[in-house]
Amino acid sequence: MLSTEMPRTTTGSTLLKTPASPSPNQNLLPLTAVINKNGELEIGGCSVTALVEQFSSPLYILDETTLRQAAQQYRQSFQTHYPGPSQVIYASKAWSCLAVVAIAAQEGLGFDVVSGGELFTTVSALKQLGWDEAEIAEKIYFHGNNKSVQELQEAIAVNCTIIVDNWLELETLSKLAANSGEPVKIMLRLTPGIECHTHEYIKTGHLDSKFGFDPNQLEAVFTYIAEQPALHCLGLHAHIGSQIFERQPHQDLGEVLVQWFAKGLTYGLPLKELNIGGGLGICYTESDDPPSIEEWAQAAALSVAKACDHHNVPYPKLIAEPGRSLVGSACVTAYRVGGRKVVPNIRTYIAVDGGMSDNPRPITYQSVYRVALANRMNDELSETVTVAGKHCESGDILVKDVALPAAEPGDILVVTATGAYNYSMASNYNRLGRPAAVLVSQGEANLILQRETYTDLLRQDCLPNRLLS
């Protein structure tokens, strides 16, 4: 039997930590979140209830202040703690859209893209901001373990840096570069063999990974590149995973990368950049305890600097590519509550008007989230419920066994920390349109992603004439 005992004085306002951490990744809600005099949740000076009334639901609500502060903290932390040059680049896979790219660019960030679509989105946004071709080329890094020839050609056309993942890609690039007229900028991704405590699906630094060259391949790779004048190898890259709370793996990574960096220099390669990836975790529940942005950046920066000093290597340009810890905590998703089902002595379900199509992480990764009723933040948490999505799938559960006020149809339920891997992994399962997204700041709300309509769902459909006869 499920226990429903809980402290009766607890309310939804407990999601607002007091005092809140200045590091966005350590908060459940965006930095601007407050409870107004009506007991409603406000973000960016906008009532969540009013936003749902205006833009409908489900609705992604992105707080501009939180995103900007996270970007500033990353950039300033590396400038403070690393003695050489540094560049923070946004891992676009977390959430790629014109508005997010524009904000990151305005805060001085570069961009990690992993597909032709992300590249196109990023370039489109930067051109609208007035960036010239040289600026765009300098700030974009193209990742991926199976880039198509078309994607490689698109990257070469932009003149961005391509993170080479394997032998086939390296050999393909050599042929493409020979016809490009100028050297193609590359970095090499290696698998450093470093384990960290995170979900099995998001571990990428251990040796049994689909990503990167194994260390025992690198000397052959260095030899090959040294004989390819059309390839300009700028440096090395490694990424050890995602949603990481430990600092030691990144401290270990600095030593591993610098050792191979020093080795690459002996082959005459013009190495000058070192990309340590990202991976800093965020708070999805009150029990999560990630380092702050500055603590993570300091540990990573000092480990690279120490290794450079030890191996007598000039400080390379240090690149970090956070995604989740930049945008994850900056967003909430708002839903309307529908009906309920009570299974006596077992569980009470309440349903919302979205689910696995707008947030596939619970069913995919068994991810845990926190929720609140945005229109009743000060009400007692009087029952334990499981929040179910509306999809025709028994596993479409957003949050299990969570304390809430007695929810009624029409209440506005918010799920916190949904800025990363929610819209970017959203689908049209059950032919649902993907939700709208709004950007909020200082009481103003701007639509940044339109809600998909039924017409949008049919846009790519083709009905052969022979089926009509």
Angle between helices 116-128 and 98-106 (to 10 degrees): 60
pLDDT at 362 > cutoff 90? yes
pLDDT at 390 > cutoff 50? yes
pLDDT of residue 171: 96
pLDDT of residue 126: 98
pLDDT of residue 442: 98
| Cα–Cα distance measured from residue 204 to residue 211, given in angstroms and rounded to the nearest whole number | 7
Q: Decide: helix, strand or coil at residue 95.
A: coil
Query: Which residue, 403, 387, 388, 412, is CA-closest to 332?
Result: 412
Residues 184-196: tens digit of each pLDDT = 999 999 988 665 4
| Cα–Cα distance measured from residue 45 to residue 29, given in angstroms and rounded to the nearest whole number | 14
pLDDT at 366 > cutoff 60? yes
**Sequence ranges of the binding site for pyridoxal 5'-phosphate:** 279, 321-324, 421
pLDDT of residue 210: 76
| Cα–Cα distance measured from residue 71 to residue 183, given in angstroms and rounded to the nearest whole number | 32
Angle between helices 218-226 and 248-265 (to 10 degrees): 40
Identify whether 392 is a catalytic site residue: yes
Give the number of other CB atoms < 10 A from CB of residue 347.
Answer: 16
pLDDT of residue 208: 59
- Position 268, amino acid: G
Q: pLDDT band for position 2 (50/70/90)?
A: very low
Residues 415-455: tens digit of each pLDDT = 999 999 999 999 999 999 999 999 999 999 999 999 999 99
* Confidence (pTM): 0.93
Cis peptide bond prior to 464, omega within 30° of 0: no
* C-alpha torsion 370→375→380→386, nearest 10: -40
Distances (CA, A) of 309 to 217, 250, 254, 262, 429: 26, 17, 12, 11, 53
pLDDT of residue 204: 44
Q: What's the chain's Rg over C-alpha atoms?
A: 24
pLDDT of residue 206: 43
Q: Decide: helix, strand or coil at residue 332.
A: strand
Residues 231-255: tens digit of each pLDDT = 999 999 998 877 887 777 777 889 9
Sorted by where each starts, the structural domains of the chain and their CATH numbers stand as 12-62+331-456 (2.40.37.10), 82-322 (3.20.20.10)
| Cα–Cα distance measured from residue 402 to residue 286, given in angstroms and rounded to the nearest whole number | 13
| Cα–Cα distance measured from residue 126 to residue 95, given in angstroms and rounded to the nearest whole number | 16
Buried b (16+ CB within 10 A) or exposed e, 209-228: bebbbeeebbeebbebbeeb
**Sequence ranges of the binding site for substrate:** 324, 361, 365, 393, 421
Q: pLDDT band for position 3 (50/70/90)?
A: very low
Residues 343-357: tens digit of each pLDDT = 999 999 999 999 999
Q: Of 46, 160, 331, 392, which one is the catalytic site residue?
A: 392
Q: Decide: helix, strand or coil at residue 374.
A: coil
Residues 48-101: tens digit of each pLDDT = 999 999 999 999 999 999 999 999 999 999 999 999 999 999 999 999 999 999
Strands, E, within 323-426: which ranges?
331-343, 347-352, 371-373, 383-388, 397-404, 412-415
Give the number of other CB atoms < 10 A from CB of residue 393.
Answer: 15
**Sequence ranges of the binding site:** 279, 321-324, 361, 365, 393, 421
* Total residues belonging to the chain: 469
pLDDT of residue 200: 38
Q: pLDDT band for position 4 (50/70/90)?
A: very low
| Cα–Cα distance measured from residue 203 to residue 238, given in angstroms and rounded to the nearest whole number | 12
Average pLDDT (275-286) is: 94
Q: pLDDT band for position 20 (50/70/90)?
A: confident
pLDDT of residue 239: 87
| Cα–Cα distance measured from residue 235 to residue 271, given in angstroms and rounded to the nearest whole number | 5
Average pLDDT (311-325) is: 97
pLDDT of residue 209: 66
How high does pLDDT run on average in the chain?
A: 92
pLDDT at 400 > cutoff 90? yes
| Cα–Cα distance measured from residue 404 to residue 133, given in angstroms and rounded to the nearest whole number | 52
Average pLDDT (5-29) is: 71
Task: Judge contact between 216 and 254, C-beta under 8 A.
Answer: no
More confident residue, 136 or 214: 136
pLDDT at 11 > cutoff 80? no
pLDDT of residue 386: 98
pLDDT of residue 25: 97
| Cα–Cα distance measured from residue 139 to residue 111, given in angstroms and rounded to the nearest whole number | 6
Query: Which residue, 231, 239, 283, 207, is CA-closest to 89?
Result: 239
pLDDT of residue 195: 54
